Amino acid sequence: WLKVGLVAHLTIAPIWCVCVRSTMSDVVKEDKELAEAKAASALHDKFNAVCIPPIVVLTGFSLLQSTNRQAQIHGILSWTTFAYVAADIVYNVLVPKCQPGPVRLGTILVHHFITLGLVLFPITNPNSGYLTAFCTVVEVNTVCQVLHKVTKWKPFQYGFLFTWFTMRLLWYPFLIWRFHREMMEMGYSPKDLPYLQTVGSQIALVGLNSFWTAEFLFSGKKKAAAKSADGKKN
If the chain, 234 residues long, is cut into consecutive pieces of 10 residues, what is the mean pLDDT of each piece?
51 56 56 85 91 96 93 97 97 94 96 98 95 97 92 93 97 98 96 97 98 88 55 55
- At 231 the pLDDT is 53
pTM, two decimal places: 0.81
| pLDDT for 24 | 53
| 8 Å CB contact between 69 and 130 | yes
Cα separation of the two ends of the chain: 44
The pLDDT value given to residue 233 = 56
Distance (Å, whole) CA 176 – CA 201: 9
- pLDDT at residue 218, rounded to an integer: 84
81 Cβ contact list (under 8 Å, min separation 6): 55, 115, 119, 132, 136
The 10 Å Cβ neighbour count of residue 143 is: 19
Amino acid at 140: V
Cα-based angle 50, 40, 219 (whole degrees, multiple of 5)? 100
Q: Which of 139, 202, 138, 198 is nearest to 174 (CA)?
A: 202
